[in-house]
Amino acid sequence: MPQSFVTFSRNVFIPLTNVCRNKCGYCGFRRDMGHPEAKLLPPDEVAAILSKGARAGCSEALFTFGERPEEVDGFSTWLSELGYGNIIDYLVDLCKLSLRIGLLPHSNPGILERRELEKLKPFNASMGLMLETAGTVKAHEGCIGKIPLERIKTIEYAGELKIPFTTGILVGIGETWEDRLRSLKIIRDIHERFGHIQEVIIQNFIPKPYTKMASHPAPGINEMIKTVSTAWETLPDDVAIQVSPNLIPPGELVECGASDLGGISPGTIDYINPEAPWPNIKELQTMVSSPLRERLPIYPQFVKKKWFSSEIAPLIPRLCDAEGFRKAYK
């Protein structure tokens, strides 16, 4: 069931901080305060990444960071040295900076309250939060931010606020097949209520050295084919199914329903999976039989609905073609 075309976006990956209140058994990104690699990117470093992305023709600034880092002792001192009382206010200013430089922000801050989403909405073209699983898994023991109902609540708040949204499931972290199916049905039901979910990521677990799940097996291609096929059968037609081409060969997954290959960065690595380099666009095309089409972080249907703020609006005609996709970059 090949798609008529497969979409992707061109982005820069900004790992704002790797300090996180959660301690997931599979995460190789998180660092404790005091670890030599623990960091909070200052504004000048973020500006340099954004400018590099703009020069490379990117349309998206992907802000990713640990959830509620202020709850980790010592982190608030870093923020206060930059003049901020919380990470969300800092993120708002960095999103404004991104817009000034010419990139559309897409933020993944973890669980948020409705008021925090309201604060971020004007300065983000889209936002995201992986559901991961609606089940209870050992990998999430002691992780307050991985309580499924809390993550569902954030996704629902985004729907109430009409924020174009990305979510998804993480395959192979100890969940059952029933958990996977229930997760997809929950996402479907939320979208049917609010209409804001633009893509669902079906992401395969990759074991990371020095984590609790370092020896846990990754899901095979047949398991991913089954999961993507089930997602295609379960989710509404207007929700894209995304797979990660730096983590798994996407060809067969596109044949069974995947229609998007996510963000491809010409200038930054995948900081969550640093061992897995992004393919360039030419390499990406060799991985799938369908033609590629570049999109923005906000999908065409939401461009046409004008689900963007007055702060975002000036960039839309600069970056977007008449159909709502990325204007050809020269």
Q: What is the mean pLDDT of residues 101-127?
A: 98
d(CA 320, CA 59): 9
Q: What is the pLDDT of residue 267?
A: 87
Q: What is the pLDDT of residue 328?
A: 84
Q: What is the pLDDT of residue 3?
A: 57
Q: What is the pLDDT of residue 330?
A: 60
DSSP state of 262: E
How many CB atoms sit inside 10 A of residue 23's CB? 16
114 burial type by CB count under 10 A (0-12 exposed, 13-18 middle, 19+ buried): middle
Q: What is the mean pLDDT of residues 304-325?
A: 97
Q: What is the mean pLDDT of residues 212-225?
A: 97
The per-residue pLDDT for range 133-185, each reduced to its tens digit, is 999 999 999 999 999 999 999 999 999 999 999 999 999 999 999 999 999 99
In one letter, which amino acid is 257? G
> pLDDT category, 194, cuts 50, 70, 90?
very high
Q: What is the pLDDT of residue 127?
A: 98
Residues 6 or more apart whose CB falls under 8 angstroms from that of 281 comprise 8, 10, 264, 292
d(CA 197, CA 190): 8
Question: Would the pLDDT of 2 be above 70?
Answer: no
Question: Would the pLDDT of 1 be above 50?
Answer: no
d(CA 212, CA 296): 36
Q: What is the mean pLDDT of residues 224-248?
A: 98
Tokens 């209140």, located at residue: 21
Q: What are the boundaries of each domain within the chain? A: 6-309
The per-residue pLDDT for range 53-107, each reduced to its tens digit, is 999 999 999 999 999 999 999 999 999 999 999 999 999 999 999 999 999 999 9
Tokens of residue 37, six digits: 């690699």
- Determine the topology of domain 6-309 in CATH: TIM Barrel (3.20.20)
Alpha carbon distances (Å) from 266 to 13, 50, 63, 65, 201? 10, 12, 16, 20, 21
E-strand stretches of 76-164:
104-108, 126-128
Give the residues across from 165 on adjacent strands: 127, 197
d(CA 50, CA 102): 8
For the range 154-157, what are the long-range contacts, defined as Cβ-Cβ under 8 Å and sequence gap of 24 or more? 154/111, 154/112, 154/117, 154/129, 155/129, 155/131, 155/187, 155/190, 155/197, 156/190, 156/193, 156/194, 157/112, 157/113, 157/114, 157/117
Phi, psi at 11, each rounded to 5°: -140, 170
The per-residue pLDDT for range 29-48, each reduced to its tens digit, is 999 999 999 999 999 999 99
Mean pLDDT of the chain: 96
